[in-house]
Amino acid sequence: MTAAAVYLEQDAELMLRVRAGDNLSFAQLLERHRRPVIHFLYRMVQNQAVSEELAQEVFLRVYKARATYEPTAKFTTWLFRIASHLAINWLRDRKMERLQDSLDSPPEGQTIQLPDKAMTKEQEMLHSARMAEVRAAIQGLPPKQRAAVLMHKYQEMGYSQIAKVFQCSESAVKSLLFRAYETLRARLAHMG
Amino acid sequence: MACEKQTDLMISYAAGKLAEPERIALERHLGECETCRRVADAQKRVWAVLDAYPVLAPGDDFDRRLYARIAEDEQRAWWRQALDRYFSPFAIRSGVPVAAACLSICAAFVLRLPSPPALQSGGGHPVAVEHRINVDQVERALDDLDMLKQLTAAPVDKEDARAPESQS
């Protein structure tokens, strides 16, 4: 059995213990998945306050659903299904409310990786410009394509797991990623 | 445009997730196909550039706020949770189209109800109908009166005519 498989089984085991009323196991699950979920949501919505609020909602839903939890799928599949659902809905609602928003405007409530202190002013500006370009390219993707790329690139999920998150076919996920990466190649390939 | 069947392979190739035999086969293809080679290079560059996409460190009080929310949620009475579920802004927002549909159905039902007899026979002008019926009745009554006058007029005339004779 691989280390990843053991890790995943531990998640299911912990969740079953949460179901039995063990709150320490919930704290362990939170410790393991807090960062990936917040990173995913922040990259989805580009807003610190909103991403933390949505992450809290994700874990609150996990806790509330503990009584009915069955380890039929990977815990992370379930976790990211809740997270992507919340993020896509938030983006859809926000699009309806604020159609006039510019994609290139800096993200709200930004607390992100700071450039290396050894960087010169010029390097710092270049780094910021690159980040802004990457952010704009990702934000230009439709929400579902964006979620698929983020799970594929940063959570290292395969087509099969992303398909389970979206509850669709693997070929639909391949098509989503194909279109998303095609857009990103057109916007970002010159930066490499 | 890259060879279609190779594109998803190139995404996995750039991510370094391709199994050895597939990777060797793809690299052989890339050696022969200029278009696919360009796509694979571009995909590799995008993959590297995406590493610069910023992340966010969770706030210090993330766990404390989460546990406070959980405690608050658990303390709520069941009826309070039900109220929140059905009267939350989202539920109200999604209930608006349903309410509008119900109103439309009610309106259609009311409009299709059979009208009262006075309205039906008068075409919306009940006063005019009553008036026409009264005129007919009055005319008939006048005719009847005329006939009665004619009938009663003859004996009176005879008596009038006889009276002078008797007087005379």
- Is the Cβ–Cβ distance between A175 and A159 less than 8 Å? no
Band (pLDDT 50/70/90 cuts) for residue B20 is very high
Per DSSP, A114 falls in state: P
- Measured between CB atoms, which of B17, B55, B58 is closest to A112? B55
Side chain identity at residue B70, one-letter code: I
User: Each residue of A38-77: pLDDT tens digit?
Assistant: 999 999 999 999 999 999 999 999 999 999 888 888 899 9
Nearest C-alpha neighbor of A160 from the set A139, A182, A143, A177: A177
Tell me the whole-structure pTM to 2 decimals.
0.68
Q: Which residue has the higher pLDDT, B66 or B165?
A: B66
User: Each residue of B26-79: pLDDT tens digit?
Assistant: 999 999 999 899 999 999 999 999 987 878 788 889 999 999 999 988 887 566
Helix or strand holding residue B131 (H, E): helix B126-167
- Is the Cβ–Cβ distance between A70 and A28 less than 8 Å? no
User: Each residue of B112-144: pLDDT tens digit?
Assistant: 766 655 554 444 455 544 455 577 787 888 888
**Cβ of A177 and B11 within 8 Å?**
yes
Top mean-pLDDT range of A177-181, B58-62, B88-92:
A177-181
C-alpha distances out from residue A109 to A46, A113, A125, Å? 9, 13, 20
Q: Which residue has the higher pLDDT, A111 or B61?
A: B61
User: For position A151, what pLDDT does the model report?
Assistant: 97
- In A162-191, the residues whose Cβ lies within 8 Å of chain B are 174, 177-178, 181, 184-185, 188-189, 191
Mean pLDDT of A118-145: 88
Nearest C-alpha neighbor of A26 from the set A54, A52, A72, A65: A65
Top mean-pLDDT range of A122-131, A172-181, B91-100:
A172-181
